Amino acid sequence: MIIISGGTGLIGRNILKRLENERIILITRSKEKAEKIIGNLKSDIEFLDWTEILEERWIQKIRTEKEKIIINLAGENIGSPWRSPNKKLNVLRSRIESTERIVYLANNINAHNLINASAIGYYGDTGEEEKDENSPPGNMFLSDVCVKWENEAKKSKTPLTITRIGVVISKEAKIITSSLTPFFVINPFGKGENYISWIHIEDLTEIFLKCMKNEIGISGKTKIINCVAPQYTKAKEFIKTIAKIKKKPILNIPQFILEVILGKDFVSETIKVSQKIKSIYLQNNFKFKFPGIKEALENILSRS
């Protein structure tokens, strides 16, 4: 049995598509909304409300299953504007509270594997310096969120995999949809000298599937994996590549305008930030389908 929280998001939906004919419990706040988003998958999906997951009747029911894998992707989307302190508080609180519940569930059903999402925001702004899984956390807001998020997950008694996810490249991803207009490719990055560490959604999905099967060669009770492609890119190259593929001119948006629209903290934490992140674990244990940004964007944009 596979238990997924946050399964209606971009990553969760793509994982679910690869789990056809599996028994799945989808933890959700709205069964009706989840059913519409998930669509007609062939999997045997049972919906479980967040308010019910700590109930003893559910714990007893799930405990009897032979194999139990939990994937925790829950957390408020950071891609919407940060125009109030409540937004940042919700980004943190949603991750801590959901992970606290998931860990309680994992410990009480004797789960075989817990895969808990995190993000490369853990490392903060790395500038020109390359970081890997052994590097310390940064000193930004999202760094603090990731540290607290991961610490909550580490309370699990079950084998744990923490996936620090980079910028996801998908036709539905915010970084793609917000860049494309009918006439221009929007550049929010200024001169674009900052680095983006990214991963194609197909590679990320495959990593999760391999983590579920313990096929990523890392020993120890807690595994930490930077889910990033082997070739990070500068923001200016990212935008230029999109413009070239779509054959459209680039429209530069001043960052002070973005600060008004999206919030100053949002811009500093997600748009201005530079992250040169590599994965020392995936480089020898995983074959990327899309190792470079050009082929990744060509694949995405040819379908958009």
Radius of gyration of the chain (CA): 19
Going by C-beta distance under 8 Å and a sequence separation of 6 or more, which residues neighbour residue 127?
Answer: 274, 276
pLDDT tens for 2-29 read 999 998 899 999 999 898 778 899 998 8
User: What whole-number distance in Å separates Cα of residue 270 and Cα of residue 143?
Assistant: 12
Classify each residue of 125-163 as buried b or exposed e, where b means 16 or more C-beta atoms within 10 Å of its C-beta: bbeeeebbbebebbebbbbbbbbebbebbeebebbbbbb
> Where residue 36 falls among pLDDT bands split at 50, 70, 90?
confident
The domain locations on the chain are: 2-169+197-230+277-288
User: What whole-number distance in Å separates Cα of residue 92 and Cα of residue 161?
Assistant: 20
Any idea which architecture 2-169+197-230+277-288 has in CATH? 3-Layer(aba) Sandwich (3.40)
- β-pairing verdict for 195-196 and 233-234: antiparallel
pLDDT tens for 82-124 read 988 899 999 999 999 999 999 999 999 999 999 999 999 999 9
| pLDDT value for 146 | 98
Going by C-beta distance under 8 Å and a sequence separation of 6 or more, which residues neighbour residue 255?
Answer: 188, 190, 267, 271, 272
pTM of the entire structure?
0.94
Q: Which of 194, 196, 195, 176 is nearest to 186 (CA)?
A: 176
